[in-house]
Amino acid sequence: MQDKLTSVINNCDLAGRFLDRDTIAPLKDFLETGALRVQTASMISSNAAEIVKKAAAQLFEEQPELLKPGGNAYTTRRHAMYLRDMGYFLRYCSYALVSGDTSVLDERLLAGLKDTFNSLGIPLGPTARSIQLMKDVVKEKLAAVGVQDTSFVDEPFDYVVREISETDV
């Protein structure tokens, strides 16, 4: 797992070049949003159950077939597993948010996930949608406390959605 600083420096080192304007700009943005990233991760941590619950309610309202016989969230056990998985996605997205790098998502969450979900018959479309909905809830919570630019939240959530689906975010 890397953070934004390590990633940029490693890339420059591998290319045998100095940090320049193009490599310093993303570092500057990362450092300027650092405190807000940590505060956001703290907000996610303390509100994780609420974020998952709200996003799941929206998902099941949009796609009620998931809760019907034959649906992936039908039965109490499968519904609980669905919510548990949403919590996993949220937690790992918060790690990537703080680090400013998606490598933790590749290493700890996405490696083999698509194949596993496909083999278990878990639909990737609703999973991707649930991740988008959680991102929206996080951004709503930030806006409610006065954070105007919430675009820094997009990267980890959008990255997971892109990796597990054929949907462009």
Residue pLDDT, tens place only, 89-130: 999 999 999 999 999 999 999 988 888 888 888 889 999 999
What are the b/e assignments for 18-31, b being 16+ CB within 10 Å? eeeeeeeeebeebe
Instruction: From 140, 125, 124, 40, select the one nearest 90 (Cα to Cα).
Output: 40
Say what the pTM is.
Answer: 0.90
Indicate the fold that domain 34-164 takes in CATH.
Answer: Globin-like (1.10.490)
Query: How far is residue 83 from each of residues 23, 27, 49, 113, 133, measured CA to CA in Å?
Result: 39, 35, 9, 16, 13
- Residue keyed to tokens 């320049």: 20
Question: In the chain, what are the domain boundaries?
Answer: 1-32, 34-164
Q: State CA 87 to chain mean position distance.
A: 10
What does the pLDDT look like over 10-63, one tens digit per residue? 999 999 999 999 999 989 999 999 999 999 999 999 999 999 999 999 999 999
